[in-house]
Amino acid sequence: MFLAHVLDITVKKLKSQAANFITLSNLFLGAFAILFVTKGQLHLSLTLIFLAALMDRFDGMMARKLQTESEFGKQLDSMCDIISFGVAPALLLYHGILYEFGAAGMFVSIFYISCGAIRLARFNISEQQGYFTGVPITVSGCIGTLLFLFTAIIPSYVYLFITVILSLSMVSPIKVKKL
């Protein structure tokens, strides 16, 4: 009887934290992406950012499926997203391309991270509708990361403009339907 009770409590705790574990895997992948950028392994970093996006997609699905959505989970997700889809893509683009532009490249990279943070903060205090206001940071981060694959084709100065456009799209008033 006692063992069944302890096992039941343990299963409930594991179930309640399953989505948060997936969210933290998003953070781990984003943090590793940052570390690999510093080691010059940009394509590995790119891969890790996309894997983080998969984890970001699954954490919300898991929370809804297990009916364990919480304010804590929402806040944790945003904290992880700023690392994986704000800092990691900005550093990837800076280290791979934008460094060529000196202070302008630094400013644009930091501007991207700042707009991502604003976007996430705004999301966390807004009422949940059937749409997002501004492009989600995950989408912007994945677009910027994907475009990194085309550095041989796209002139480097275009990345300054693309990064600014992605930044402004996150804080824009445009409505993006939730999927």
The mean pLDDT of the chain is 91
Distance CA 8, CA 14 (A): 10
Contact at 8 Å (CB) between 145 and 92?
Answer: yes
Q: Nearest to residue 85, comparing CAs of 17, 135, 129? A: 135
How many independent structural domains does the chain possess? Answer: 1
> 3-class secondary structure for 108-135?
HHHHHHHHHHHHHHHHHHCCCCCEEECC
Its domain, for residue 165, covers 2-177
- Which secondary-structure segment (H or E) carries 72? helix 71-81
Q: What are the structure tokens assigned to 34, written together?
A: 């940052």
Each residue's pLDDT, cut to its tens digit, for the chain (179 residues) gives 555 554 555 556 666 678 889 999 999 999 999 999 999 999 999 999 999 999 999 988 888 888 888 888 889 999 999 999 999 999 999 999 999 999 999 999 999 999 999 999 999 898 767 888 999 999 999 999 999 999 999 999 999 999 999 999 999 999 888 87
Q: What are the structure tokens assigned to 29, written together?
A: 């992948």
Contact at 8 Å (CB) between 96 and 135?
Answer: no
| Residue 159: CATH number of its domain | 1.20.120.1760
Q: Amino acid identity, residue 158?
A: V
pLDDT digits (tens, 9 = 90+) for 138-178: 999 999 999 999 999 999 999 999 999 999 999 999 988 88
The whole model's pTM is what? Answer: 0.90
